[in-house]
Chain A
């Protein structure tokens, strides 16, 4: 059997041949070289690694991907259709390529910079790669080796951005088996506030591979509302790493919604490095047919007086498989940490499965921490109640499923985004007769 790290070779060839940005920047070339060395030794993570116990990348490793996109035909009307938000600053990437004509970045307010990654290399230099460990899993190394496009968001000190920023990543299906390695960088300077939506959409049901790394740097007293909505094709591979470093008084509120992908993996990580900093790490995975979605989260409480709330919910149907592994680490110095972490799952079929493991490692003694997970089915009393009021079985089940799922959405304040996400989720539920 081929070892997963043999993959290094074809990907390395891609690195040599393709038109990666920053070929003229020595610091970036050095970084890519380190990534190549790392990826060549480590390869893709294998199931024998504890963090990858339930998720096999074998099929991914065996799939013949291409890195060269042909021109796509996505037009403005389609973009309007696919976008989550009507009123937002928008950066659009189609098949891995930034499309200025489809983006809406003309009237950015003072203090806000939103640019394609490829045009921001100098400004990301200081922070690029600081939030993620190159050596931990091969996928970050692979991303670093081949990263080509993405979004760079910078919010200057004291700026409160008036509208959400939507990064819309479209896989049009024009290029079969396309692999894209996206790199996003979100930086908020002191006292800044912003809302960012990362939105990944597949237009067809073709195979593609999205490998994205998003890095977040939050200075003192900043607040970032950070949504991610993943609606890729049910044949897609979607691998995402999302990592933040938080200074004192900063707040990072994440909401991570997984609807698409045949195989998806999310690694979400926050480091609470300054006092009074806070992380909300929420998410929802709604899976059916043979989807496999793996979420690994980690929150490091490193200093005293930090807080975190985490709630992930899962709705599983058909033959799908969900994995949730949450780790909260309260380090020795992190007295007065207040942290809770929950994972609740609703199983709608016999064929689906969930492996859930919320974990806390606590090395400080004066802390308030709670965690837990549940796996359950629809409540028969509730179902009968709704049917006894005239709602048909399918509608009643959908309504209860929706109710189970969407309370996650209510944990962040934006009503507009909540409603938009709620509508997207509703579309995914089975429909009953019109009642």
Chain B
């Protein structure tokens, strides 16, 4: 599904990703942890196709295509979804409009008809229920005046609607209260399937109790320095990142 090989990326001449290797197979859930400033969001942005990064080495293959050769919107239409660490507010563009445009972009790419207004609304209502959001949010500007937790829910709503093949969740659990964390986790778990993969970035072991990962990686200073299963997260929780550093980079 996703194969990242020796990926190096820099911004304004500053090296941030320094040789990432990661393989994600269909159906797998990978958790990426790591200290602030390690390059986790940079990796997400590079995968989602944000401009402004220079890829100096390496490759990313997604479903046998060169992902890095595609524009951001082309990646989205092929099923790459990034849930943002800091979802942006867009006053003047209603949530419902965004959802519709986004869904139709994906459907058109898949050669499907655009949904008519009724079917679309039915579908949105179903997804709203899943993430326990009120319909009122649909008619507000995208994330406009939403609380931190509401913004994160809104990201999961978009994900639930778009049903991506590869979902990258960048700290979707940060800033959520206990109930919201459960709701969001349920939303993510509902999406888990044999042909879908999830990469989730988090600082907290707690999330992994709800969404149990197949693999846990530690990203530090632009490299994956350690990989393991969910036990690794527990170990990190008790010992901190210095423990990983002492052990040195993964082989």
Contacts and interface: CB of A to CB of B under 8 A. Distances in A.
Contact of B106 (A390, A393, A404, A434): A390
Given A382-B90, A390-B77, A435 B104 contact: yes
Given A381-B88, A382-B88, A404-B92, A388 B105 contact: no
A388 B93 contact: no
A435 B108 contact: yes
B240 interface: no
Interface stretch (B43-51, B212-220, B224-232): B43-51
B88 A385 contact: yes
Given A395-B101, A399-B93, A435-B101, A389 B158 contact: yes
Contacts of B76: 387-390
B238 to A, nearest CB: 36
A402 interface: yes
Interface extent on A, as a size class? 20 to 34
Given A393-B71, A400-B93, A403-B92, A385 B105 contact: no
A404 to B, nearest CB: 7
A331 B243 CA distance: 71
Contacts of B81: 388
Contacts of B148: none
B88 A390 contact: no
A404 B93 CA distance: 9
B102 A390 contact: yes
Given A434-B108, A435-B101, A387 B72 contact: yes
Interface in B1-57: 48-51
Interface in B98-144: 98, 101-102, 104-106, 108-109, 141-142
Contacts of B77: 390
A16 interface: no
B91 A384 contact: no
A391 interface: yes
B84 interface: yes
Contacts of A385: 84, 87-88, 90, 142
B207 interface: no
Contacts, number: 79
A197 B141 CA distance: 29
B156 to A, nearest CB: 14
B60 interface: no
A392 B73 CA distance: 6
Interface in B161-175: 162
Given A384-B72, A385-B84, A434-B108, A391 B92 contact: no
Interface in B66-98: 71-73, 75-77, 81-82, 84, 87-88, 90-93, 98
Contacts of B71: 387, 392-393
A380 B162 CA distance: 23
Contact of B101 (A381, A388, A389, A393): A389
Nearest to A389: B102
Contacts of A375: none
A386 interface: yes
Interface in A351-405: 379-382, 384-393, 395-396, 399-400, 402-404
B90 A390 contact: no
A407 interface: yes
A435 B105 contact: yes
Nearest to A385: B88
A417 interface: no
Interface string B177-204: 0000000000000000000000000000
A406 interface: yes
A391 B142 CA distance: 15
B51 to A, nearest CB: 7
Contacts of A379: 88
A380 B90 CA distance: 11
Nearest to A395: B101
Interface in A47-86: none
Most chain B beta-carbon neighbours within 10 Å: one of A382, A390, A392: A390
Interface in A400-431: 400, 402-404, 406-407
A434 B113 CA distance: 12
Contacts of B82: 388
A389 B98 contact: yes
B78 to A, nearest CB: 9
Contacts of A396: 73
B104 A388 contact: no
Most chain B beta-carbon neighbours within 10 Å: one of A392, A395, A404, A406: A392
B105 A391 contact: yes
B73 A391 contact: yes
Contacts of A407: 91-92
A403 B48 CA distance: 24
Contacts of B84: 385, 388
Nearest to B72: A387
Contacts of B51: 380, 384
B208 to A, nearest CB: 25
5 contacts: A388-B72, A388-B81, A389-B102, A390-B106, A391-B73
Interface of B: 48-51, 71-73, 75-77, 81-82, 84, 87-88, 90-93, 98, 101-102, 104-106, 108-109, 141-142, 158, 162
Given A384-B50, A390-B105, 9 more contacts: A389-B162, A390-B73, A391-B102, A392-B71, A392-B105, A395-B101, A403-B92, A404-B92, A435-B104
Interface of A: 379-382, 384-393, 395-396, 399-400, 402-404, 406-407, 434-435
Leading 10 A-B pairs by shortest Cβ distance: A403-B92, A390-B105, A390-B76, A389-B102, A387-B72, A435-B105, A387-B73, A381-B88, A403-B93, A385-B88
